[in-house]
Chains A and B, each alone.
Chain A
Amino acid sequence: MTADVPTYLDGNAAAGALSEVFAVDLTAAIGRCAGCGHTGVFAEVRLYTAAPGLVARCPGCDDVLLRVVTTPSETYLDLRGLTYLRVSNS
């Protein structure tokens, strides 16, 4: 593995962990990055899984949008980098 091979997945891979917390599917939600204002579908964020949890970063500026850490008894959710999430009502 060299440094120039991307090591990330995308927001699709966080759907399972997020479904434990949210009543709606978040992969199709639109999110806005608090860092650079990039707006896009959550499925397209860069997701790093080789961490104690999941770290979602903005494809525009690489800032942390969201972190999910699951322990045996609880799930921690950190939404620091999102100014909003927009989900469809239907």
Chain B
Amino acid sequence: MERTAVRRRLTWQAGTVTEIREETATARTIVLDLPDWPGHLAGQHLDVRLTAPDGYRASRSYSIASAWTGSTIELTVEQVPDGEVSPYLVDVLKVGDPLEVRGPVGGWFVWRPDSAGPIQLIGGGSGVVPLMAMLREHAHASSTAPARLLYSVRRPTSVIYAADLKKLAMSDDVDLTFVYTREAPPGEPRVGRVDAELLAAKAFAPTDDLTTYVCGPTPFVEAVADLLVAAGHDPARVRTERFGPTGGPR
């Protein structure tokens, strides 16, 4: 993370919800206008803080879904059953509401357009969110770095950003593979998980300049990272971000 000339203590700032888009039955994208936002790198996240009328506070970390283009930022929130924060963000929050955030944070699980080498993105469920920010940054920067996304979802209706992903995949430099774990669309023979065979067929083979980003529920991330290391990938070039056991971002 580059240090800026003037560091101020990173703390909470208020934004305003300018748009809400339904992505799936349980996930929505929240567009936020943040007047004090300093910009962010693809893959970074922020913390969202809710304050109840009695003063009780809860905060959760959410990945940023958008590339920084100088205006608003986008978050995509998947509702976690029995969650403390996500039900409010998915069911109650509306356009015009204020929202408190702290960020951007995280300098490890990031992709910069000036970094050399191809990128392999592997996402499980809502783990696709920071990877989408990377693909959007890739397009925004007109990067020619070869990029592949393996996106593991339960069923076709669970796909977040379906239309946007198809558009991004029209680029010669971006390759997209869906893995359906419960139910596949018609004509798609395979239902299963990301395994060694699939990685061998669809993911980049290990090279010295390849960087792999894996994000999703903790068990998914651990399984995929182990498979990658077993397939000869350098553990130091596999970057992971765990979204917790629920399958939703925390």
Interface residues, chain B, CB within 8 Å of chain A?
1-3, 7, 9-11, 45-47, 59, 61, 102-103, 105-109, 218-219, 222, 239-245, 250
- Quick check: is A8 within 8 A (CB to CB) of the other chain? yes
| CA A7 to CA B109, docked complex, whole Å | 20
- Quick check: is A51 within 8 A (CB to CB) of the other chain? no
What residues of A have a CB within 8 angstroms of the CB of B239 in the complex? Answer: 43
B43, closest chain A residue (CB): A12
B222, closest chain A residue (CB): A6
Q: Are B106 and A25 in contact (CB under 8 A)?
A: yes
Q: Which of B46, B107, B108 interacts with A16 by CB under 8 Å?
A: B46
Q: Are B108 and A12 in contact (CB under 8 A)?
A: yes
Q: Are A49 and B250 in contact (CB under 8 A)?
A: yes
Q: Which of A7, A20, A44, A90 interacts with B245 by CB under 8 Å?
A: A7
Can you report 8 A-B residue pairs in the complex whose CB atoms are below 8 A from each other?
A6-B222, A7-B218, A9-B243, A9-B244, A12-B61, A19-B102, A43-B239, A43-B241
Q: Are B9 and A20 in contact (CB under 8 A)?
A: yes
What residues of A have a CB within 8 angstroms of the CB of B243 in the complex? Answer: 9
Q: Are A13 and B107 in contact (CB under 8 A)?
A: no
B18 to chain A, nearest CB (A): 23
Q: Are B106 and A27 in contact (CB under 8 A)?
A: yes
| CA A16 to CA B44, docked complex, whole Å | 11
Q: Are A10 and B105 in contact (CB under 8 A)?
A: no
User: Contacts A6-B245, A9-B242: A16 and B3 contacting too (C-beta < 8 A)?
Assistant: no
7 closest cross-chain pairs (CB), A and B: A15-B105, A25-B107, A43-B108, A16-B47, A25-B1, A19-B10, A27-B108
B61, closest chain A residue (CB): A13
Q: Are B106 and A43 in contact (CB under 8 A)?
A: yes
What residues of B have a CB within 8 angstroms of the CB of A11 in the complex? Answer: 108
**A-B contact sample (19 more), CB < 8 A, given A24-B1, A24-B3, A43-B240:** A5-B219, A5-B245, A9-B218, A10-B241, A12-B106, A12-B109, A12-B242, A13-B61, A13-B250, A15-B45, A15-B107, A16-B61, A17-B47, A19-B102, A20-B102, A25-B107, A27-B109, A28-B1, A44-B240
Q: Are B107 and A28 in contact (CB under 8 A)?
A: yes
What residues of B have a CB within 8 angstroms of the CB of A25 in the complex? Answer: 1, 105-108
A19 to chain B, nearest CB (A): 4
Instruction: Mark contacts of A14-41 with chain B using CB atoms, 8 A cut-off: 1 yes-contact digit, 0 otherwise.
Output: 0111011001110110000000000001
Q: Which of A9, A16, A49 interacts with B105 by CB under 8 Å?
A: A16
What residues of A have a CB within 8 angstroms of the CB of B109 in the complex? Answer: 12, 27, 43
A27, closest chain B residue (CB): B108
| CA A23 to CA B9, docked complex, whole Å | 7
| CA A28 to CA B219, docked complex, whole Å | 22
B241, closest chain A residue (CB): A12
What residues of A have a CB within 8 angstroms of the CB of B105 in the complex? Answer: 15-16, 19, 25, 27
What residues of B have a CB within 8 angstroms of the CB of A12 in the complex? Answer: 45, 61, 106, 108-109, 241-242
What residues of A have a CB within 8 angstroms of the CB of B1 in the complex? Answer: 24-25, 28
